[in-house]
Amino acid sequence: MCPQGNQHHHGLPIVYKKQRSWWQRVFMKKSSLVDMNESAGGLSSKERVSSASLGRPSQNPLGQPPAVIIVGPPWPRSGTARVIQNQIHYYRERGFFTVFVAVPFLWYFIHIAQDPGEIIEGLNELGADRMFMATLDQKRYTAAKYKASVRHAFRGTALDWQVALGKEARLNDEHLDFLRGLRAVLFHVNHVYTLGFALDLRRRLFDDDLPLPIILETHDVQSQLLQEKGERNPWTRRPDRLDRLIKSETSLLKKASVLIHLSVDDLRLFEGLMPSKPQFLAFPTIDENFISSVNAAAPPVESIDLLFVGQWHSANLAAMKWFFDQVWPLIADRRYNIKIVGPIGSTVKKELPQMHDTFRSYFVGEVTDLVPYYRAARCVIAPMVSGSGISIKTIEALALGKPFVGTSKAYRGIPMDRIEQAGLHAYDTPQAFADAIVYALSNEQRVAAAGRAAYDHLFSKQAAFSSRDEAFRIATTT
Protein backbone atom coordinates (compact mmCIF):
# COMPACT_ATOMS: atom_id res chain seq x y z
CA MET A 1 0.00 0.00 0.00
CA CYS A 2 1.30 3.45 -0.87
CA PRO A 3 1.91 5.89 1.97
CA GLN A 4 -0.72 8.56 2.29
CA GLY A 5 0.41 12.15 2.70
CA ASN A 6 -0.84 15.24 4.52
CA GLN A 7 -3.63 13.63 6.50
CA HIS A 8 -5.80 15.74 8.80
CA HIS A 9 -8.14 14.95 11.66
CA HIS A 10 -11.15 12.96 10.35
CA GLY A 11 -9.87 13.57 6.81
CA LEU A 12 -10.87 17.27 6.91
CA PRO A 13 -8.60 20.03 5.63
CA ILE A 14 -7.55 22.24 8.54
CA VAL A 15 -8.68 25.27 6.53
CA TYR A 16 -12.22 24.05 5.98
CA LYS A 17 -14.16 25.86 8.72
CA LYS A 18 -12.76 29.20 7.67
CA GLN A 19 -13.35 28.64 3.96
CA ARG A 20 -16.64 26.80 3.77
CA SER A 21 -18.66 30.02 3.51
CA TRP A 22 -16.80 31.05 0.34
CA TRP A 23 -17.65 27.80 -1.41
CA GLN A 24 -21.31 28.04 -0.40
CA ARG A 25 -21.55 31.70 -1.42
CA VAL A 26 -19.96 31.35 -4.87
CA PHE A 27 -20.92 27.87 -6.02
CA MET A 28 -23.81 26.47 -4.01
CA LYS A 29 -26.11 29.22 -5.29
CA LYS A 30 -25.56 28.20 -8.90
CA SER A 31 -24.66 24.53 -8.85
CA SER A 32 -26.93 21.54 -8.41
CA LEU A 33 -25.22 20.64 -5.15
CA VAL A 34 -27.30 20.70 -1.98
CA ASP A 35 -26.47 21.41 1.63
CA MET A 36 -24.56 18.65 3.37
CA ASN A 37 -27.51 17.73 5.60
CA GLU A 38 -30.14 17.50 2.83
CA SER A 39 -31.69 14.11 2.03
CA ALA A 40 -30.70 12.20 -1.08
CA GLY A 41 -34.12 11.85 -2.61
CA GLY A 42 -34.43 13.07 -6.20
CA LEU A 43 -30.90 14.42 -6.38
CA SER A 44 -28.43 14.38 -9.24
CA SER A 45 -25.56 11.92 -9.37
CA LYS A 46 -23.21 14.30 -7.62
CA GLU A 47 -25.72 14.92 -4.83
CA ARG A 48 -26.53 11.23 -4.39
CA VAL A 49 -22.86 10.40 -4.03
CA SER A 50 -22.46 13.20 -1.50
CA SER A 51 -25.49 12.24 0.57
CA ALA A 52 -24.85 8.52 0.46
CA SER A 53 -21.38 9.09 1.87
CA LEU A 54 -22.94 10.46 5.09
CA GLY A 55 -23.98 6.93 5.97
CA ARG A 56 -20.35 5.94 6.57
CA PRO A 57 -19.39 7.98 9.66
CA SER A 58 -15.98 6.38 10.04
CA GLN A 59 -14.88 7.94 6.75
CA ASN A 60 -17.51 10.63 6.21
CA PRO A 61 -18.42 12.57 9.33
CA LEU A 62 -21.45 14.82 9.04
CA GLY A 63 -20.46 18.14 7.56
CA GLN A 64 -17.51 16.90 5.56
CA PRO A 65 -16.36 19.22 2.79
CA PRO A 66 -16.88 18.50 -0.90
CA ALA A 67 -13.95 16.67 -2.43
CA VAL A 68 -12.03 16.92 -5.69
CA ILE A 69 -10.16 13.90 -7.05
CA ILE A 70 -7.08 15.11 -8.92
CA VAL A 71 -5.49 12.66 -11.34
CA GLY A 72 -2.07 13.05 -12.97
CA PRO A 73 1.26 11.48 -13.91
CA PRO A 74 3.72 10.39 -11.21
CA TRP A 75 6.22 13.11 -12.07
CA PRO A 76 7.38 14.74 -8.83
CA ARG A 77 9.47 17.92 -8.78
CA SER A 78 8.70 18.69 -12.41
CA GLY A 79 6.86 21.38 -14.33
CA THR A 80 3.76 19.19 -14.26
CA ALA A 81 4.12 18.85 -10.50
CA ARG A 82 4.24 22.63 -10.14
CA VAL A 83 0.94 22.93 -12.00
CA ILE A 84 -0.72 20.17 -9.96
CA GLN A 85 0.47 21.96 -6.84
CA ASN A 86 -1.32 25.08 -8.17
CA GLN A 87 -4.52 23.07 -8.51
CA ILE A 88 -4.27 21.62 -5.01
CA HIS A 89 -3.66 25.05 -3.49
CA TYR A 90 -6.62 26.44 -5.40
CA TYR A 91 -9.07 23.74 -4.34
CA ARG A 92 -7.90 23.72 -0.72
CA GLU A 93 -8.14 27.48 -0.50
CA ARG A 94 -11.70 27.22 -1.81
CA GLY A 95 -12.54 24.72 0.95
CA PHE A 96 -12.31 21.39 -0.88
CA PHE A 97 -10.81 18.16 0.38
CA THR A 98 -8.22 17.03 -2.19
CA VAL A 99 -7.01 13.60 -3.19
CA PHE A 100 -4.21 13.21 -5.71
CA VAL A 101 -4.01 9.93 -7.61
CA ALA A 102 -0.77 9.30 -9.50
CA VAL A 103 -1.29 7.28 -12.68
CA PRO A 104 1.50 5.42 -14.54
CA PHE A 105 1.00 5.18 -18.30
CA LEU A 106 4.42 4.13 -19.60
CA TRP A 107 6.03 0.69 -19.48
CA TYR A 108 8.99 1.75 -17.35
CA PHE A 109 6.70 2.49 -14.41
CA ILE A 110 6.32 -1.27 -13.99
CA HIS A 111 9.89 -1.40 -12.74
CA ILE A 112 9.77 1.90 -10.84
CA ALA A 113 6.75 0.64 -8.89
CA GLN A 114 8.95 -2.00 -7.28
CA ASP A 115 10.73 0.74 -5.33
CA PRO A 116 8.55 3.87 -5.46
CA GLY A 117 9.79 5.48 -2.25
CA GLU A 118 11.44 8.52 -3.81
CA ILE A 119 8.53 9.16 -6.17
CA ILE A 120 6.03 8.94 -3.33
CA GLU A 121 8.11 11.30 -1.23
CA GLY A 122 8.10 13.83 -4.07
CA LEU A 123 4.37 13.43 -4.73
CA ASN A 124 3.56 14.02 -1.07
CA GLU A 125 5.22 17.41 -1.45
CA LEU A 126 2.32 18.46 -3.69
CA GLY A 127 0.26 19.10 -0.57
CA ALA A 128 -2.92 17.11 -1.25
CA ASP A 129 -4.91 15.93 1.78
CA ARG A 130 -4.41 12.36 0.63
CA MET A 131 -2.22 10.82 -2.05
CA PHE A 132 -2.58 7.41 -3.70
CA MET A 133 -0.39 5.87 -6.37
CA ALA A 134 -1.97 3.50 -8.86
CA THR A 135 0.14 0.60 -10.08
CA LEU A 136 0.66 -0.97 -13.48
CA ASP A 137 2.04 -4.49 -13.31
CA GLN A 138 3.23 -6.77 -16.09
CA LYS A 139 -0.04 -8.72 -16.18
CA ARG A 140 -2.19 -5.63 -16.67
CA TYR A 141 0.33 -4.19 -19.14
CA THR A 142 -0.02 -7.32 -21.29
CA ALA A 143 -3.80 -7.18 -20.98
CA ALA A 144 -3.75 -3.54 -22.04
CA LYS A 145 -1.93 -4.44 -25.26
CA TYR A 146 -4.63 -6.90 -26.30
CA LYS A 147 -7.54 -4.69 -25.26
CA ALA A 148 -6.15 -1.64 -27.04
CA SER A 149 -5.39 -3.63 -30.17
CA VAL A 150 -8.97 -4.88 -30.33
CA ARG A 151 -10.51 -1.51 -29.41
CA HIS A 152 -8.54 0.34 -32.09
CA ALA A 153 -8.49 -2.53 -34.59
CA PHE A 154 -4.68 -2.21 -34.75
CA ARG A 155 -5.15 1.31 -36.17
CA GLY A 156 -4.71 3.45 -33.09
CA THR A 157 -1.97 6.00 -32.49
CA ALA A 158 0.91 6.19 -30.05
CA LEU A 159 -1.24 8.54 -28.01
CA ASP A 160 -4.10 6.01 -27.91
CA TRP A 161 -1.61 3.41 -26.72
CA GLN A 162 -0.40 5.45 -23.75
CA VAL A 163 -3.95 6.33 -22.73
CA ALA A 164 -4.80 2.61 -22.87
CA LEU A 165 -1.88 1.76 -20.58
CA GLY A 166 -2.94 4.39 -18.08
CA LYS A 167 -6.48 3.03 -18.11
CA GLU A 168 -5.19 -0.36 -16.91
CA ALA A 169 -3.46 1.07 -13.83
CA ARG A 170 -5.22 0.13 -10.60
CA LEU A 171 -5.73 1.34 -7.05
CA ASN A 172 -6.08 -1.21 -4.26
CA ASP A 173 -9.43 -1.94 -2.59
CA GLU A 174 -8.66 0.17 0.46
CA HIS A 175 -8.03 3.22 -1.68
CA LEU A 176 -11.18 2.61 -3.72
CA ASP A 177 -13.27 2.31 -0.54
CA PHE A 178 -11.85 5.59 0.71
CA LEU A 179 -12.70 7.37 -2.55
CA ARG A 180 -16.23 5.92 -2.59
CA GLY A 181 -16.78 7.44 0.83
CA LEU A 182 -15.88 10.95 -0.24
CA ARG A 183 -18.38 13.64 -1.04
CA ALA A 184 -16.76 13.93 -4.47
CA VAL A 185 -17.99 16.70 -6.77
CA LEU A 186 -15.35 16.76 -9.51
CA PHE A 187 -12.49 14.95 -11.24
CA HIS A 188 -9.57 17.16 -12.26
CA VAL A 189 -7.42 15.32 -14.80
CA ASN A 190 -3.88 16.28 -15.79
CA HIS A 191 -2.60 15.33 -19.25
CA VAL A 192 -4.77 13.50 -21.73
CA TYR A 193 -2.76 10.33 -20.95
CA THR A 194 -4.48 9.88 -17.59
CA LEU A 195 -8.01 10.48 -18.91
CA GLY A 196 -8.70 6.79 -19.60
CA PHE A 197 -7.87 5.95 -16.00
CA ALA A 198 -10.07 8.76 -14.69
CA LEU A 199 -13.05 7.72 -16.81
CA ASP A 200 -12.69 4.12 -15.67
CA LEU A 201 -12.29 5.17 -12.02
CA ARG A 202 -15.37 7.37 -12.25
CA ARG A 203 -17.37 4.42 -13.58
CA ARG A 204 -16.08 2.11 -10.85
CA LEU A 205 -16.74 4.55 -8.04
CA PHE A 206 -19.90 6.36 -9.12
CA ASP A 207 -21.77 4.26 -11.65
CA ASP A 208 -24.73 6.48 -12.46
CA ASP A 209 -26.70 8.08 -15.24
CA LEU A 210 -25.22 11.49 -14.40
CA PRO A 211 -21.49 11.02 -13.78
CA LEU A 212 -19.28 13.54 -12.03
CA PRO A 213 -17.92 16.29 -14.28
CA ILE A 214 -14.30 16.29 -15.44
CA ILE A 215 -12.00 19.26 -15.85
CA LEU A 216 -9.00 18.29 -17.95
CA GLU A 217 -5.83 20.39 -17.84
CA THR A 218 -3.93 19.75 -21.06
CA HIS A 219 -0.47 21.06 -20.04
CA ASP A 220 0.63 20.86 -23.66
CA VAL A 221 -0.36 19.70 -27.13
CA GLN A 222 0.69 16.11 -26.57
CA SER A 223 0.38 15.29 -30.27
CA GLN A 224 3.10 17.77 -31.09
CA LEU A 225 5.37 16.41 -28.38
CA LEU A 226 4.97 12.85 -29.63
CA GLN A 227 5.78 13.93 -33.17
CA GLU A 228 8.83 15.93 -32.03
CA LYS A 229 10.14 12.87 -30.19
CA GLY A 230 9.46 10.63 -33.16
CA GLU A 231 7.44 8.33 -30.91
CA ARG A 232 6.76 5.06 -32.69
CA ASN A 233 3.26 3.72 -33.04
CA PRO A 234 3.27 0.27 -31.39
CA TRP A 235 1.06 -1.12 -34.14
CA THR A 236 2.68 0.34 -37.25
CA ARG A 237 6.24 0.51 -35.82
CA ARG A 238 6.70 4.00 -37.23
CA PRO A 239 5.84 7.54 -36.05
CA ASP A 240 2.28 8.75 -36.57
CA ARG A 241 1.40 11.69 -38.78
CA LEU A 242 0.55 14.81 -36.81
CA ASP A 243 -3.00 14.97 -38.18
CA ARG A 244 -3.71 11.44 -36.89
CA LEU A 245 -2.32 12.30 -33.47
CA ILE A 246 -4.35 15.51 -33.31
CA LYS A 247 -7.49 13.58 -34.24
CA SER A 248 -6.85 11.07 -31.45
CA GLU A 249 -6.13 13.80 -28.93
CA THR A 250 -9.21 15.88 -29.71
CA SER A 251 -11.50 12.84 -29.66
CA LEU A 252 -10.29 12.12 -26.13
CA LEU A 253 -10.44 15.72 -24.94
CA LYS A 254 -14.07 15.95 -26.03
CA LYS A 255 -14.92 13.49 -23.23
CA ALA A 256 -14.04 16.09 -20.59
CA SER A 257 -16.61 18.63 -19.40
CA VAL A 258 -14.21 21.57 -19.49
CA LEU A 259 -10.63 22.11 -20.65
CA ILE A 260 -7.98 24.29 -19.03
CA HIS A 261 -4.85 25.27 -20.96
CA LEU A 262 -1.62 26.73 -19.65
CA SER A 263 -0.53 28.59 -22.77
CA VAL A 264 -2.09 31.05 -25.19
CA ASP A 265 -0.96 28.92 -28.14
CA ASP A 266 -2.63 25.77 -26.80
CA LEU A 267 -5.86 27.61 -26.10
CA ARG A 268 -6.00 29.01 -29.63
CA LEU A 269 -5.28 25.63 -31.21
CA PHE A 270 -7.87 23.66 -29.28
CA GLU A 271 -10.52 26.37 -29.47
CA GLY A 272 -10.15 26.18 -33.22
CA LEU A 273 -10.51 22.40 -33.20
CA MET A 274 -13.34 22.25 -30.64
CA PRO A 275 -15.18 25.59 -30.73
CA SER A 276 -18.17 24.31 -28.73
CA LYS A 277 -16.08 22.93 -25.86
CA PRO A 278 -15.78 25.25 -22.81
CA GLN A 279 -12.08 26.15 -22.53
CA PHE A 280 -10.09 28.43 -20.24
CA LEU A 281 -6.58 29.81 -19.89
CA ALA A 282 -4.92 29.60 -16.47
CA PHE A 283 -1.27 30.59 -16.39
CA PRO A 284 0.75 28.64 -13.80
CA THR A 285 1.86 30.39 -10.65
CA ILE A 286 4.76 29.50 -8.41
CA ASP A 287 4.18 28.43 -4.82
CA GLU A 288 4.79 31.39 -2.50
CA ASN A 289 6.28 29.05 0.10
CA PHE A 290 8.92 27.99 -2.41
CA ILE A 291 9.71 31.62 -3.24
CA SER A 292 10.00 32.41 0.47
CA SER A 293 12.27 29.40 1.02
CA VAL A 294 14.65 30.57 -1.70
CA ASN A 295 14.71 34.13 -0.38
CA ALA A 296 15.25 32.97 3.21
CA ALA A 297 17.95 30.40 2.41
CA ALA A 298 21.42 30.93 3.76
CA PRO A 299 23.76 32.85 1.47
CA PRO A 300 25.74 30.47 -0.73
CA VAL A 301 29.38 29.72 -0.15
CA GLU A 302 29.89 29.97 -3.89
CA SER A 303 27.61 31.75 -6.33
CA ILE A 304 26.39 30.19 -9.57
CA ASP A 305 26.75 32.56 -12.50
CA LEU A 306 24.46 30.65 -14.87
CA LEU A 307 21.82 28.11 -13.85
CA PHE A 308 19.77 25.85 -16.09
CA VAL A 309 17.13 23.54 -14.60
CA GLY A 310 15.78 20.84 -16.90
CA GLN A 311 13.94 17.55 -17.09
CA TRP A 312 14.99 14.75 -19.43
CA HIS A 313 12.92 15.64 -22.50
CA SER A 314 14.15 16.30 -26.02
CA ALA A 315 13.60 20.07 -25.99
CA ASN A 316 16.08 20.42 -23.13
CA LEU A 317 18.56 18.19 -24.96
CA ALA A 318 18.35 20.44 -28.02
CA ALA A 319 18.76 23.48 -25.77
CA MET A 320 21.95 22.11 -24.26
CA LYS A 321 23.37 21.30 -27.67
CA TRP A 322 22.67 24.79 -29.01
CA PHE A 323 24.06 26.48 -25.92
CA PHE A 324 27.32 24.55 -25.68
CA ASP A 325 27.91 24.35 -29.43
CA GLN A 326 27.07 27.95 -30.37
CA VAL A 327 26.71 30.21 -27.35
CA TRP A 328 29.32 28.98 -24.90
CA PRO A 329 32.33 29.53 -27.21
CA LEU A 330 31.40 33.24 -27.26
CA ILE A 331 31.66 33.59 -23.47
CA ALA A 332 33.95 30.73 -22.47
CA ASP A 333 36.85 33.09 -21.75
CA ARG A 334 34.81 34.77 -19.00
CA ARG A 335 35.01 31.54 -16.96
CA TYR A 336 31.48 31.72 -15.67
CA ASN A 337 30.47 29.15 -13.09
CA ILE A 338 27.58 27.25 -14.71
CA LYS A 339 25.40 24.50 -13.25
CA ILE A 340 22.98 22.24 -15.15
CA VAL A 341 20.52 20.75 -12.66
CA GLY A 342 18.03 17.94 -13.21
CA PRO A 343 17.59 14.71 -15.18
CA ILE A 344 18.71 16.45 -18.37
CA GLY A 345 22.26 15.58 -17.30
CA SER A 346 21.71 11.85 -17.76
CA THR A 347 20.01 12.51 -21.12
CA VAL A 348 22.99 14.49 -22.37
CA LYS A 349 25.33 11.75 -21.13
CA LYS A 350 23.38 9.15 -23.10
CA GLU A 351 22.65 11.09 -26.30
CA LEU A 352 25.65 13.44 -26.50
CA PRO A 353 28.41 11.63 -24.58
CA GLN A 354 31.27 13.69 -26.00
CA MET A 355 29.59 16.93 -24.97
CA HIS A 356 28.90 15.52 -21.52
CA ASP A 357 32.53 14.50 -21.10
CA THR A 358 33.71 17.96 -22.15
CA PHE A 359 31.43 19.79 -19.71
CA ARG A 360 31.10 17.08 -17.07
CA SER A 361 31.76 19.42 -14.13
CA TYR A 362 28.78 21.58 -15.07
CA PHE A 363 26.19 18.78 -14.78
CA VAL A 364 24.83 18.33 -11.28
CA GLY A 365 22.17 15.72 -12.05
CA GLU A 366 18.92 15.19 -10.15
CA VAL A 367 18.51 16.93 -6.80
CA THR A 368 15.79 16.71 -4.17
CA ASP A 369 15.90 20.41 -3.35
CA LEU A 370 16.28 23.25 -5.84
CA VAL A 371 16.31 25.96 -3.17
CA PRO A 372 20.10 26.21 -2.67
CA TYR A 373 20.71 26.30 -6.42
CA TYR A 374 18.23 29.09 -7.05
CA ARG A 375 19.53 30.95 -4.00
CA ALA A 376 23.06 30.80 -5.39
CA ALA A 377 22.11 31.68 -8.97
CA ARG A 378 23.03 35.09 -10.34
CA CYS A 379 21.26 34.41 -13.65
CA VAL A 380 18.90 31.71 -14.93
CA ILE A 381 19.10 30.76 -18.60
CA ALA A 382 16.69 28.99 -20.93
CA PRO A 383 18.41 28.50 -24.32
CA MET A 384 15.38 26.74 -25.80
CA VAL A 385 15.24 26.11 -29.54
CA SER A 386 12.17 23.86 -29.49
CA GLY A 387 9.30 22.91 -27.24
CA SER A 388 5.59 23.55 -26.89
CA GLY A 389 3.15 24.42 -24.16
CA ILE A 390 4.52 26.82 -21.56
CA SER A 391 7.87 26.77 -19.79
CA ILE A 392 7.59 26.43 -16.02
CA LYS A 393 11.32 27.08 -15.67
CA THR A 394 10.79 30.52 -17.21
CA ILE A 395 7.94 31.37 -14.86
CA GLU A 396 9.90 30.04 -11.90
CA ALA A 397 12.89 32.27 -12.64
CA LEU A 398 10.69 35.34 -13.06
CA ALA A 399 8.83 34.60 -9.82
CA LEU A 400 12.09 34.33 -7.90
CA GLY A 401 13.25 37.68 -9.21
CA LYS A 402 16.32 36.17 -10.85
CA PRO A 403 17.92 37.78 -13.90
CA PHE A 404 16.66 35.69 -16.80
CA VAL A 405 17.93 35.19 -20.34
CA GLY A 406 15.78 33.20 -22.73
CA THR A 407 14.95 32.63 -26.37
CA SER A 408 11.54 33.04 -28.01
CA LYS A 409 10.90 29.37 -27.25
CA ALA A 410 11.59 30.00 -23.58
CA TYR A 411 8.65 32.44 -23.63
CA ARG A 412 6.40 30.12 -25.63
CA GLY A 413 2.74 30.31 -24.76
CA ILE A 414 3.15 33.71 -23.07
CA PRO A 415 1.99 36.99 -24.71
CA MET A 416 5.32 38.38 -25.92
CA ASP A 417 4.08 41.96 -26.11
CA ARG A 418 3.40 41.94 -22.38
CA ILE A 419 6.81 40.41 -21.67
CA GLU A 420 8.47 43.20 -23.63
CA GLN A 421 6.36 45.83 -21.86
CA ALA A 422 8.00 44.66 -18.64
CA GLY A 423 11.45 45.21 -20.14
CA LEU A 424 12.37 41.65 -21.09
CA HIS A 425 13.30 40.40 -24.55
CA ALA A 426 13.94 37.14 -26.38
CA TYR A 427 17.42 36.41 -27.76
CA ASP A 428 17.41 33.92 -30.61
CA THR A 429 20.90 34.16 -32.10
CA PRO A 430 24.02 32.86 -30.34
CA GLN A 431 25.62 36.30 -30.24
CA ALA A 432 22.48 38.00 -28.92
CA PHE A 433 22.08 35.32 -26.25
CA ALA A 434 25.72 35.61 -25.21
CA ASP A 435 25.54 39.40 -25.07
CA ALA A 436 22.36 39.21 -22.97
CA ILE A 437 24.12 36.96 -20.46
CA VAL A 438 26.98 39.41 -20.10
CA TYR A 439 24.54 42.30 -19.70
CA ALA A 440 22.41 40.45 -17.13
CA LEU A 441 25.41 39.58 -14.97
CA SER A 442 26.56 43.20 -15.13
CA ASN A 443 23.11 44.64 -14.32
CA GLU A 444 21.58 42.05 -12.00
CA GLN A 445 19.18 44.28 -10.09
CA ARG A 446 17.72 45.94 -13.20
CA VAL A 447 17.18 42.67 -15.08
CA ALA A 448 15.83 40.92 -11.98
CA ALA A 449 13.32 43.72 -11.37
CA ALA A 450 12.06 43.46 -14.94
CA GLY A 451 11.52 39.72 -14.53
CA ARG A 452 9.60 40.06 -11.30
CA ALA A 453 7.47 42.83 -12.80
CA ALA A 454 6.58 40.51 -15.70
CA TYR A 455 5.60 37.76 -13.25
CA ASP A 456 3.41 40.06 -11.16
CA HIS A 457 1.72 41.39 -14.30
CA LEU A 458 1.03 38.06 -16.01
CA PHE A 459 1.05 35.28 -13.44
CA SER A 460 -0.85 36.61 -10.47
CA LYS A 461 -2.60 34.14 -8.21
CA GLN A 462 -5.76 36.22 -8.42
CA ALA A 463 -5.94 35.93 -12.22
CA ALA A 464 -5.22 32.20 -12.22
CA PHE A 465 -7.78 31.48 -9.50
CA SER A 466 -10.40 33.57 -11.31
CA SER A 467 -10.02 31.38 -14.41
CA ARG A 468 -10.25 28.24 -12.29
CA ASP A 469 -13.37 29.59 -10.57
CA GLU A 470 -15.10 30.00 -13.92
CA ALA A 471 -13.96 26.59 -15.19
CA PHE A 472 -15.34 24.98 -12.02
CA ARG A 473 -18.62 26.84 -12.32
CA ILE A 474 -19.15 25.77 -15.90
CA ALA A 475 -18.14 22.16 -15.21
CA THR A 476 -20.49 21.74 -12.25
CA THR A 477 -23.54 23.59 -13.55
CA THR A 478 -23.88 22.41 -17.17
Q: Do 362 and 441 lie in a common domain?
A: yes
Mean pLDDT of 316-338: 97
pTM score? 0.78
CB contact set of 353 (below 8 Å; sequence gap of 6+): none
- On whether residue 222 sits in a domain, the answer given is yes
Helix 430-442 with 444-458: angle, nearest 10 deg: 100
- On whether residue 94 sits in a domain, the answer given is yes
- Given a contact cutoff of 8 angstroms between Cβ atoms, the answer to whether 279 and 258 are in contact is yes
* CA Rg value for the chain: 23
Three-state SS at 414: coil
Q: Do 77 and 161 lie in a common domain?
A: yes
Mean pLDDT of 96-113: 85
Mean pLDDT of 328-355: 96
402-447 pLDDT, tens digit per residue, is 999 999 999 999 999 989 998 999 999 999 999 999 999 999 999 9
Across the chain, mean pLDDT equals 85
Taking the CA atoms of residue 4, residue 9, residue 13 and residue 19 in that order, the dihedral angle to the nearest 10 degrees is 180
Q: Do 318 and 183 lie in a common domain?
A: no
Q: Higher-confidence residue: 267 or 457? A: 267
Q: Do 394 and 258 lie in a common domain?
A: no
Q: Do 220 and 260 lie in a common domain?
A: yes
Report residue 82 CA to chain centroid gap.
6
* pLDDT recorded at residue 207: 67
Q: Do 44 and 90 lie in a common domain?
A: yes
Judged on CB neighbours under 10 Å (0-12, 13-18, 19+), 108 is exposed
Cα separation, 75 vs 311, whole angstroms: 10
- On whether residue 49 sits in a domain, the answer given is yes
186-200 pLDDT, tens digit per residue, is 999 999 999 999 999
Measuring CA to CA, how many Å separate 319 from each of 128, 282, 308, 413?
Answer: 33, 26, 10, 17
Q: Do 98 and 16 lie in a common domain?
A: yes
Cα separation, 192 vs 274, whole angstroms: 15
Q: What is the distance in angstroms between the CA of the first residue and the CA of the last residue of the chain?
A: 37
Among 270, 233, 272, which Cα is nearest to 249's?
Answer: 270
pLDDT band, residue 317 (cuts 50/70/90): very high
Q: Which amino acid is residue 212, in one-letter code?
A: L
Q: Do 344 and 257 lie in a common domain?
A: no
- On whether residue 87 sits in a domain, the answer given is yes
Helix 392-399 with 444-458: angle, nearest 10 deg: 110
Apex 63 CA angle, 41 and 461, nearest 5: 110
Among 83, 66, 178, which Cα is nearest to 131's?
Answer: 178
- On whether residue 1 sits in a domain, the answer given is no
pLDDT band, residue 208 (cuts 50/70/90): low
Q: Which helix H or strand E contains 151, and what residues bound it?
A: helix 138-151
pLDDT band, residue 107 (cuts 50/70/90): confident
pLDDT band, residue 256 (cuts 50/70/90): very high
Report residue 153 CA to chain centroid gap.
32
Among 312, 373, 307, 381, which Cα is nearest to 340's?
Answer: 307
Cα separation, 331 vs 442, whole angstroms: 14
Q: Do 150 and 275 lie in a common domain?
A: yes
Cα separation, 281 vs 467, whole angstroms: 7
Cα separation, 414 vs 320, whole angstroms: 22
Q: Do 87 and 104 lie in a common domain?
A: yes
Mean pLDDT of 261-277: 96
CB contact set of 21 (below 8 Å; sequence gap of 6+): none
Cα separation, 252 vs 266, whole angstroms: 16
DSSP 245-310: HHHHHHHHHTTSSEEEESSHHHHHHHHHH-TTS-EEE------HHHHHHHHHSPPPSS-BSEEEE-
Range from 16-20, 273-277, 345-349 carrying the lowest mean pLDDT: 16-20
Q: The CATH number of the domain where 61 resides is what? A: 3.40.50.2000
- On whether residue 3 sits in a domain, the answer given is no
* pLDDT recorded at residue 18: 31
- Given a contact cutoff of 8 angstroms between Cβ atoms, the answer to whether 210 and 46 are in contact is yes
Q: Looking at the 3D structure of the chain, how many domains does it have?
A: 2
Q: Do 275 and 371 lie in a common domain?
A: no
* Range(s) of the domain holding residue 170: 9-285+461-477
Three-state SS at 372: helix
DSSP 58-123: TTS-TTPPPEEEEEE-S-TTSHHHHHHHHHHHHHHHTT-EEEEEE---STTHHHHTTS-HHHHHHH
- On whether residue 354 sits in a domain, the answer given is yes
Among 45, 79, 49, which Cα is nearest to 64's?
Answer: 49
Q: Do 230 and 343 lie in a common domain?
A: no
Which of 28-32, 54-58, 140-144, 286-290 has the largest mean confidence? 286-290
